[in-house]
Chains A and B, each alone.
Chain A
Amino acid sequence: GNSVTQMEGPVTLSEEAFLTINCTYTATGYPSLFWYVQYPGEGLQLLLKATKADDKGSNKGFEATYRKETTSFHLEKGSVQVSDSAVYFCALSDGPGGNKLVFGAGTILRVKS
């Protein structure tokens, strides 16, 4: 079945460092890909998404490109801030309507000032 694998955390960075969180997927067909973020004490929020190969999703300085050839959707940000500290989940859509989501295990990001 479909699955998502993302790098284990926690990832600890200093402020203004470059961030990469790796995500690879296994899927039949052409799923949409998502990154969700969960800040402490809050629900998951959609950070960005891409619906087809070579699409780049971007939001709040974060970017991820849908790479079909490598089945990857790595999350990047050029300069992280303390406020980016959160748990990041990679996910793909699964099922009719694209709303049945398959999640990775989540990666904790800690940014130090």
Chain B
Amino acid sequence: GAVVSQHPSRVICKSGTSVKIECRSLDFQATTMFWYRQFPKKSLMLMATSNEGSKATYEQGVEKDKFLINHASLTLSTLTVTSAHPEDSSFYICSARDRLNTIYFGEGSWLTVV
């Protein structure tokens, strides 16, 4: 079946640096991808909706300049956490929608900022 792959699955970075997380749809074209964040014992919170070839639509309260989303092709969206701080440490997960409107989730990425 369809697979969405995220990379890296775990990353540790120093405070003040930037880190990029990739989300790839491996066997289908995804015109829309979604980025979620999960805090410990909390719901998955939608951060932004990423449409191929256009700017991402961010949810209220999500800093556009901090969480840069690029959806340059139909199979790849990237989330870059800029100038990361310890409070950005979290579980980030993406999903991708295929042309039949079915959504598939990636495995998620654990970010730790030290």
- How far does the alpha carbon of A99 sit from the alpha carbon of B33 in the complex, in Å? 10
* Secondary structure class of chain B's binding surface, majority of residues: strand
B residues touching A (Cβ–Cβ < 8 Å)?
A: 4, 6, 32, 34, 36, 38, 41-46, 49, 93, 95, 97, 101, 103-108
Enumerate chain B residues within 8 angstroms of A97, measured Cβ to Cβ: 101
Provided the pairs A43-B4, A99-B32, A100-B49 are in contact, do residues A105 and B105 lie with their beta carbons within 8 angstroms?
no
Enumerate chain B residues within 8 angstroms of A102, measured Cβ to Cβ: 43, 46
- How far does the alpha carbon of A72 sit from the alpha carbon of B42 in the complex, in Å? 19
Enumerate chain A residues within 8 angstroms of B93, measured Cβ to Cβ: 43-44
Contact of A43 among B41, B42, B43, B106 (CB under 8 A): B106
A41 within 8 A of B: yes
Known: A43-B107, A100-B34, A103-B36. 12 other contacts (CB 8 A): A4-B43, A41-B107, A43-B104, A43-B105, A44-B105, A46-B103, A99-B97, A100-B49, A101-B44, A104-B43, A105-B41, A105-B43
A residues touching B (Cβ–Cβ < 8 Å)?
A: 4, 8, 36, 41-46, 89, 97-106
Check if A105 sits within 8 Å of B42, measured CB to CB. Answer: yes
24 contacts between A and B (CB under 8 A): A8-B41, A43-B6, A43-B105, A43-B106, A43-B107, A44-B95, A45-B105, A46-B103, A89-B44, A98-B101, A99-B32, A99-B34, A99-B97, A99-B103, A101-B34, A101-B44, A101-B95, A101-B103, A102-B46, A103-B43, A104-B43, A105-B41, A105-B43, A106-B43
